[in-house]
Amino acid sequence: MSGTTRSDKELDRDEAAFLARPHKYQYLQSEARKIWAEAQKISVSSREDGWSRLAQHTVLKPNPNPKGETRPIGAEIISALRRHLANLQGTRCCYCRRWLQNIAHARPVEHILSRDDYPRFSLHYRNLALACRDCNQQKTNKNWTTWDQTAAAYPLPEEARDYFHPRLHVYDGHIRYVRVETNDAAIAIYQGLTEQGRQLCRDHLKKISQVDALFKNNRQLSGAIERLQAAGDNPEEAEKVKLNEFVDALHEAIYRIAGD
């Protein structure tokens, strides 16, 4: 299965890298590690959303501290996690692969198995990825899997068969995409290469790819994109797609912009 799934070893190594630096200040790293492990343990044993608990965790600043000031160490651990994941993902969204902007609200942490339905995995390292705001808002708390909600164990890479899982799967093994951008427009076509890739295209990326002016105003181009996207959903149709038709329409659109 190499090329479509990530190995346990690789995933463990990533987690160890995060745990080596769970806080930006070195002197707080061992405390941050303890807080993370504790919150993780509570969410597993009590089946409670440990994410909110961690996000609200504060500690007293060191003495002398007459006013009893606190520092939001939980939020700071989440920031460290966000930096780690951004680095791991090449600063791109885990679903649509667009660039992530460098502001926290534009790079929300995505819980792949939702916190509502799988609270015990709310702090499971393999359940966390960075999505762009569009993807995060569109996916909300939906689940694309039928994985048993009472299961104690997190799915292994080879067990995520019915949906695309951005941490367990290798993106390029499941999805191929073309993205073209101009000053005022962008189009993207996603094609699923596997069952899991086709699921993501069908349930999510199709909507994400329906962007702006060029797409909407050019009937010929949007028709070609729709047919290509449909072929991505249905492999039998792939043979019938006229790629040339799309490329011609794209060229025409680009030349029209260039000629303006």
Rounded to a whole number of angstroms, the minimum distance from the CB of residue 134 to Zn ion is 5
Asked, as a colleague might, if the bond just before 72 is cis with ω within 30 of 0, I would say no
> Which of residues 36 and 190 has its CB atom nearest to Zn ion in the complex?
190
- What amino acid is encoded at 206 in this protein? K
Could you say whether residue 54 binds Zn ion (CB under 5 A)? no
- What is the SS3 string spanning 52-68? HHHHCCCEECCCCCCCC
Q: Select the residue interacting with Zn ion from 96, 128, 200, 225 (CB under 5 A).
A: 96
Q: Name the segment binding Zn ion (CB under 5 A); options: 25-33, 86-94, 191-199, 227-235.
A: 86-94
Place of tokens 């569109």: 138
Could you say whether residue 221 binds Zn ion (CB under 5 A)? no
Rounded to a whole number of angstroms, the minimum distance from the CB of residue 204 to Zn ion is 9
Q: Name the segment binding Zn ion (CB under 5 A); options: 24-32, 72-80, 96-104, 148-156.
A: 96-104
3-state SS, residue 128: strand
Could you say whether residue 93 binds Zn ion (CB under 5 A)? yes
Using CA atoms, how far apart are residues 46 and 49, in angstroms rounded to an integer?
9
Rounded to a whole number of angstroms, the minimum distance from the CB of residue 88 to Zn ion is 15
Could you say whether residue 205 binds Zn ion (CB under 5 A)? no
Q: Name the segment binding Zn ion (CB under 5 A); options: 20-28, 80-88, 91-99, 237-245.
A: 91-99
Q: Name the segment binding Zn ion (CB under 5 A); options: 30-38, 72-80, 89-97, 227-235.
A: 89-97
The interface mask with Zn ion, positions 131-170, x = CB under 5 A, is -x--x-----------------------------------
Q: State the maximum Cα–Cα separation within the chain, in Å, rounded to a whole number.
A: 74
CB-count burial class (<10 Å; 0-12, 13-18, 19+) for 150 = exposed
Instruction: Please give the radius of gyration of the chain, using alpha carbons only, rounded to the nearest integer.
Output: 21
CB atoms within 10 A of CB 86: 15
Asked whether the beta carbons of 120 and 136 are under 8 A apart, the reply is no
> Which of residues 40 and 114 has its CB atom nearest to Zn ion in the complex?
114
> Which of residues 130 and 250 has its CB atom nearest to Zn ion in the complex?
130
> Which of residues 75 and 170 has its CB atom nearest to Zn ion in the complex?
170
Nearest to 250 by CA among 175, 177, 176, 182: 182
> Which of residues 95 and 121 has its CB atom nearest to Zn ion in the complex?
95
Could you say whether residue 123 binds Zn ion (CB under 5 A)? no
Using CA atoms, how far apart are residues 55 and 245, in angstroms rounded to an integer?
51
Rounded to a whole number of angstroms, the minimum distance from the CB of residue 140 to Zn ion is 13
Is residue 225 within a helix (H) or strand (E), and if so which, with residue range?
Answer: helix 219-233
Size of the site for Zn ion (CB under 5 A): 5
What are the residues binding Zn ion (CB under 5 A)? 93, 95-96, 132, 135
